[in-house]
Amino acid sequence: MADFRATDVEQIEMRVGETRTLESLRQAVVPPYVMIVPFLELSAGMELVHQNDLGEDGIHGCIFTLRAAAEGQGMLRVGFRDLRTGQVVIERSIPVRIVSD
């Protein structure tokens, strides 16, 4: 299970050096959402360590592993892009705050 779920979380707070997981938004594989892929735009001070599939049939989404690299705050953007056009079809912005020890 992920530390945070993009659907539910209101704000992400992490400490510098900490690694946490974020479940992307979820979308059933039904028209018009058949050809979409998850995306993540990170806040300053965050790094993407890796991305894994949800491992569920019939659902678009993934688990992002994030690392807090530097102190700061900003917005993280997560959602889905249409694979054919590259346009964002679903998105959510989440405030992020990274603090030092």
Contact 3, 67 (CB under 8 A): no
Whose CA is closest to 6, among 66, 83, 77, 89? 77
Q: What is the value of pTM for the model shown?
A: 0.93
- What pLDDT shows up at residue 1? 75
Which pLDDT band, with edges at 50, 70 and 90, does 2 fall under? confident
Task: Tell which wins on pLDDT, 1 or 3.
Answer: 3
Beta-strand relationship, 88-99 and 72-82: antiparallel
Cα–Cα distances in Å, from 9 out to 20, 40, 72?
13, 15, 19
Please state the rounded mean pLDDT for residues 10-20: 97
What would the pLDDT profile of 36-90 be if each residue is shown by its tens digit? Answer: 999 999 999 999 999 999 988 999 999 999 999 999 999 999 999 999 999 999 9
Please return the burial class of 2, using the count of CB atoms within 10 Å of its CB with bins 0-12, 13-18 and 19+: middle
**4-99 under CATH 2.60.40.2020, yes or no:** yes
